């Protein structure tokens, strides 16, 4: 009996050790902390052009949208906060695309960290939710880090000036992540409305509320 007890105890210890090792290794591969904590783009800076794959397999660049500006939104498929904003993002595109500020959505999450954020899942989400804008995949996460995005959803408004896209706003889409009807400050709309009448953006930065972006460790 004593031998069986010792054998059972040893087995449990080995199993716990294996679980600890697997957990430790997984933490080495994936992280919710950005590789580059300091964003390249700050308010007033020219945003670097990007060229990312859309759901149809084609490449979409910022310079190729040929507009007065853009609403760049980092979002994803699995995050409940991102899902809560999907209809609002569609509404933003429908309202402002004709005014020169279309939406460009980017999924920044590492594919290996969540199976819901791969290219196929992007395509399904775009069709199911009726996206009227590009839904791009930032596979190497360089664009995500350059903007300093850390949560989904996070919005960035850029305006074209002298051939360059200048960052005018960064942060939350509005002030209520739970309900569009309860939002009292629609930050993205406020920023674009000011830009459309030639004014400087009054509120340039806000804190976005959402899920931490899943980054690859280098």
pLDDT (tens digit per residue) in 49-104 = 999 999 999 999 999 999 999 999 999 989 999 999 999 999 999 999 999 999 99
Range list of H helices, 1-104: 2-29, 80-96
What is the C-alpha separation between 2 and 6, in angstroms, rounded? Answer: 6
What is the C-alpha separation between 85 and 176, in angstroms, rounded? Answer: 10
* pLDDT (0 to 100) of residue 37: 38
What is the C-alpha separation between 140 and 115, in angstroms, rounded? Answer: 16
* pLDDT (0 to 100) of residue 22: 34
| pTM (predicted TM-score) | 0.81
The answer to whether 73 and 93 are in contact (CB under 8 A) is no
Average pLDDT value over all residues in the chain: 84
* pLDDT (0 to 100) of residue 115: 66
Ranges of residues in the chain with a pLDDT under 70 are 1-39, 112-115, 218
- Taking CA atoms, 194 is separated from 161, 169, 170, 180, 188, in Å, by 15, 11, 15, 21, 10
């Amino acid at each position: 009996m004593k031998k069986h007890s010792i054998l059972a105890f040893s087995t449990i210890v080995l199993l716990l050790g294996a679980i600890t090792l697997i957990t430790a290794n997984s933490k080495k591969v994936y992280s919710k902390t950005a590789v580059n904590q300091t964003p390249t783009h700050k308010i007033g800076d020219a945003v670097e052009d990007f060229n990312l794959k859309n759901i149809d397999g084609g490449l979409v660049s910022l310079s190729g949208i040929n507009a007065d500006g853009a609403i760049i939104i980092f979002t994803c498929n699995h995050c409940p906060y991102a899902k809560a904003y999907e209809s609002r993002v569609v509404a933003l595109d429908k309202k402002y695309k004709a005014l020169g500020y279309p939406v460009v959505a980017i999924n920044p999450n590492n594919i290996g960290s969540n199976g819901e954020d791969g290219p196929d899942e992007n395509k399904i989400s775009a069709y199911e939710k009726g996206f009227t804008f590009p839904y791009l995949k930032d596979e190497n996460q360089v664009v995500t880090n350059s903007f300093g995005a850390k949560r989904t959803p996070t919005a960035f408004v850029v305006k074209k000036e002298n051939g360059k896209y200048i960052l005018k706003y960064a942060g939350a889409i509005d002030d209520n992540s739970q309900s569009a009807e309860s939002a009292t400050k629609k930050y993205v709309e406020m920023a674009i409305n000011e830009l459309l009448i030639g004014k400087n953006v009054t509120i340039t930065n806000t804190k976005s509320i959402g899920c931490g972006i899943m980054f690859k460790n280098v």
